[in-house]
Structure 1
Amino acid sequence: MDTQETTVTILLLGDAGCGKTTFLSSLKQRSTRQPSSNQQIQILHDSNQPFIYDIRFSKKSFTVELYDTAYPNQHWSTLQPDVVLLAFDISNRDTLSGLRTWRQDIIRYFQHGHGERIPVMMVGLKRDLRVEGDGIIYPQETYRIAQELRCDRYAECSAVTGELMAETFEDLARLAGMSTTEKGGQTEGGCVVM
């Protein structure tokens, strides 16, 4: 087993109000202990960044440093992430549309050579707010958009109810862990849905 400490930097991008901070706070709280369904999530603050998670996955241990775009003293484009997490609010179509701009920013700031790509995971937040109606965003639509944006993975979850949080974090940890290998975390093509 590899005993060398590896750190993976993950940058979380998405429009303001899409649920990024609640998502990170829920991840942090769940990594320290399993909350009950009626327990309040303690919201992390920008001064807590980077958010640190120690991961043991597939017989490999590594540290994940997660940065949120709201951090006031560090412009996100100056970071050198190993993985980018694109987030949107499932109940707000504008945040889904905004992912195209965020994806262009990833290309502009982090992909400097021909064929150079950074692993990208798209995550739909606030799954508990998906309701039937005219503006509903169905999973099939978001999966198609994840493919168009050349994302390596797609998942959705609810930080408030905890629905699919463990699965989303596991998939993020898998992608982060893959980025520490020689082959890297990018997929050969297509998008994996979790």
Structure 2
Amino acid sequence: MTTQVLEGKSIPEVDILFLGSPGVGKATFLSRIHHIRDGKLDKSTVPKGRVFAPSAPLTFDVTLFRRPYQFRIHPSTSTLFIDPFPSAPAFAIIAFSISSRESLHNAQYYWRKQLSLHFSDLEHTMPVMLLGLKRDERTERRREDGTFECVMPNEGLQAAQEMRCDRYGECSALTGELMFEVLEDITRTAAKTTTEAGGLSDPGSCSVM
């Protein structure tokens, strides 16, 4: 975390990693952050057409706990952990697509492990959130073995607990369902990383918003 000074006031700058395999919905999620109005997605302001992954970190300013913050989200752009991430991020989000069990497997067995490998010195201070995207694509169709084709909420929460994540959330950036709640959870957790107590949940717990 760094701090900038504006009009005599210090503004904490918080770096957030946004990890996950290509195609899970990270670009759509990021493209709609600035279109949340009064607790919901204002679809009338969302540009039409194809959404492209950002070429630079997404920066947005918020005011929480009576003070301003600046958050910078650094999304992964490759199937590998090779992006030029900041050396000391404060918070990490690992995303998967609810309609793709493979993407959850990648979140569990690739992205989580790479995060621990590259930031082992932050393992006990950096909160991690597992985020299910494309909630609007969830169905109750079953496969031949009787299991659901999509990832169910209880499965996502269980995966988050097994991954030693502090938070678990789901939303649809396309429809806006639960997006405000997820953003609120992200911003509050990020803001808490600037405090002495930090943004980690109680030991052994995984919160769901």
TM over 0.5, yes or no? yes
Which residue is 2:114 aligned to? 105
Q: Once the two structures are superposed, what CA deviation does each residue of 1:129-154 show, in whole Å capped at 9, x if it has no partner?
A: 00111213110011011011111111
The structural deviation recorded for 1:55 is: 1.1
Contact 1:41/1:160 (<8 A) preserved: no
Bigger fraction of residues in strand: 2
- 2:126 is matched with which residue? 118
When the two chains are superposed, the root-mean-square deviation of aligned CA atoms in Å is 2.5
The alpha carbon displacement at 1:57 in A equals 1.4
Find the residue that maps to 1:98 and give its secondary structure.
helix
Matches of 1:34 and 1:51, distance apart in 2: 18
Query: 2:16 maps to which residue?
Result: 10
Q: 1:45 to 1:107 in 2, by over 3 A?
A: closer
Query: Is the 8 Å Cα contact of residues 155 and 168 (structure 1) preserved in structure 2?
Result: yes
Alignment of 1:1-194 (within 5 A): 3-30=9-36, 35-36=42-43, 39-40=46-47, 43=51, 45-47=53-55, 49-70=56-77, 75-77=83-85, 79-100=87-108, 101-112=110-121, 116-134=124-142, 135-189=149-203, 190-194=205-209
Gaps of 5+ in 2: 1-7, 143-148
Q: Deviations over 1:56-97 (max 9, x none)?
A: 1122210000011118xx824554211001100000000001
- Structure exhibiting the larger radius of gyration computed from Cα positions: 2
**Distance in 1 (alpha carbons) for counterparts of 2:117 and 2:35:** 33
The count of residues paired between Structure 1 and Structure 2 equals 189
CA–CA distance in structure 2, aligned partners of residues 45 and 129 of structure 1: 20
**8 Å contact from structure 2 (residues 41, 180) kept in 1:** no
Once residues 155 and 179 of structure 2 are traced to their aligned partners in structure 1, the CA distance between those partners, rounded to angstroms, is: 21
Kindly indicate whether the alpha-carbon contact (under 8 Å) linking 2:16 and 2:89 is maintained by their aligned counterparts in 1.
yes
**Percentage identity across paired residues of the two chains:** 36
Instruction: Say if 1:126 and 1:157, in contact at 8 Å, map to a contact too.
Output: yes
**What secondary structure is seen at the aligned counterpart in 2 of 1:46?**
coil
- Give the structure-1-normalised TM-score: 0.88
Matched residues in 2 for 1:106 and 1:133: separation? 33
Aligned-pair CA distance for 1:37:
6.5
Question: What is the deviation of 1:193?
Answer: 0.3
Q: Deviations over 1:96-119 (max 9, x none)?
A: 011121111111111227x63411
Instruction: Name the SS of the counterpart of 1:84 in structure 2.
Output: strand
> CA 1:41–1:185 in structure 2 vs 1: closer, same or farther (change >3 Å)?
farther
